[in-house]
């Protein structure tokens, strides 16, 4: 069986991850952010959610970089939270 070095590293990370589980980061695409106050509204709402630690706005690409404690929330919960205030979103990148 051949395993590419990068796959092996990913595997080692996956095995080791419970040791340092939190925090994690996801990039959330929010197509509905169409004026500069949208991200402010979303950021405020997300920061009230349990487990959300930081929200950085990339307005030009309509993305949020959300840091969260993966023992207290999940990327899916973050998506649902933005949708709940009128901004459906997608997770762009689930890795850290
Ligand atoms: Cu707006």
Write the Ramachandran bin of 51: left for phi over 0, alpha for psi from -120 to 50, otherwise beta: left
- Using pLDDT thresholds of 50, 70 and 90, give the confidence band for residue 93: confident
Which among 76, 70, 73 has a CA at the least distance from the CA of 89?
A: 76
3-state SS, residue 7: helix
Residue of 43 and 13 predicted with greater confidence: 43
Indicate the CATH number for domain 20-93: 3.30.70.100
Tens digit of each residue's pLDDT (9 = 90 or more) over 44-76: 999 999 999 999 999 999 999 999 999 999 999
User: What confidence category does residue 5 fall into, taking pLDDT thresholds of 50, 70 and 90?
Assistant: low
Compute and round to an integer the Cα radius of gyration of the chain. Answer: 15
Average pLDDT over the chain reads: 85
Ligand 1 centre to CA of 85 (Å) is: 12
Domain ranges of the chain: 20-93
Distance 95 CA to ligand 1 centre (A): 28
| Ligand 1 ion: residues within 5 Å (CB) | 35, 37-38
| Tokens 């991200």 found at | 39
- Cα(58) to ligand 1 centroid in Å equals 14
């Amino acid at each position: 069986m051949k395993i590419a070095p990068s796959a092996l590293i990913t595997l080692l990370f996956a095995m080791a991850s419970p040791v340092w589980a939190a925090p994690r980061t996801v990039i959330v695409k929010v197509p509905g952010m169409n004026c500069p106050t949208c991200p402010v509204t979303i950021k405020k709402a997300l920061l009230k959610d349990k487990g959300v630690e930081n929200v950085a706005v990339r307005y030009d690409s309509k993305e949020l970089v959300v840091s969260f404690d993966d023992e207290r929330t999940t990327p899916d919960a973050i998506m649902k939270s933005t949708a709940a205030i009128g901004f459906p979103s997608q997770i762009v990148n689930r890795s850290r």
